[in-house]
């Protein structure tokens, strides 16, 4: 059973998606749409500051462990304490042919009082599925 609290989605008896002071990104699911792998991501801004723009560079690894694709994702604005669900066509192949996603870098992290250089160190990743999402 899952519930929603002030800190984000959590499993019964589990921890919240993001702790205060972190930006969390969870790979929640994938589905093949046409010839692309569409990823469902759950992002939460656990910072005390709103992000007016947040973007990531994502690397896709195929089922043999080789780099197969690179994607630039714009997650848009993330208000402080806000959880958002987003979908992206992230790989140019069926999801069965994807073994992992890697956040290669934070390409945009803007907001009043936000230190863009610290955004990568505040980012925490997780996955609810067999495909990993790492830093």
Question: Where exactly are the structural domains of the chain?
Answer: 2-113
Q: What Cα–Cα distance (Å) separates residue 53 from each residue in 50, 63, 110, 116, 124?
A: 9, 32, 5, 11, 17
Residue 83 pLDDT level (bands cut at 50, 70, 90): very high
User: Is pLDDT above 90 for 57?
Assistant: yes
Q: Is 30 exposed, middle or buried (0-12, 13-18, 19+ CB in 10 A)?
A: buried
Residue predicted with more confidence, 18 or 114 = 114
pLDDT for 36: 94
pTM confidence score: 0.84
pLDDT for 69: 94
CATH topology of domain 2-113: Immunoglobulin-like (2.60.40)
Q: How many beta carbons lie within 10 A of that of residue 23, not counting itself? A: 23
Whether 126 contacts 27, CB under 8 Å: yes
pLDDT for 19: 59
């Amino acid at each position: 059973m899952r519930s929603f609290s002030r800190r984000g989605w959590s499993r019964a008896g589990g921890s919240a998606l993001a702790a205060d002071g972190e930006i969390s990104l969870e790979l929640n699911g994938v589905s093949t749409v046409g010839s692309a792998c569409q990823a469902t991501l759950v992002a939460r801004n656990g910072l005390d500051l709103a992000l007016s723009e947040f973007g990531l560079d994502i690397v896709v690894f195929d089922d043999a462990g080789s780099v197969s694709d690179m994607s630039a994702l714009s997650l848009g604005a993330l208000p402080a304490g806000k959880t958002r669900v987003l979908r992206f066509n992230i790989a140019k192949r069926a999801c069965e042919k994807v073994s992992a996603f890697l956040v290669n870098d934070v390409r945009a992290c803007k907001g009043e009082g936000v230190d863009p250089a610290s955004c990568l160190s505040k980012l925490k990743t997780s996955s609810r599925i067999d495909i990993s999402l790492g830093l």
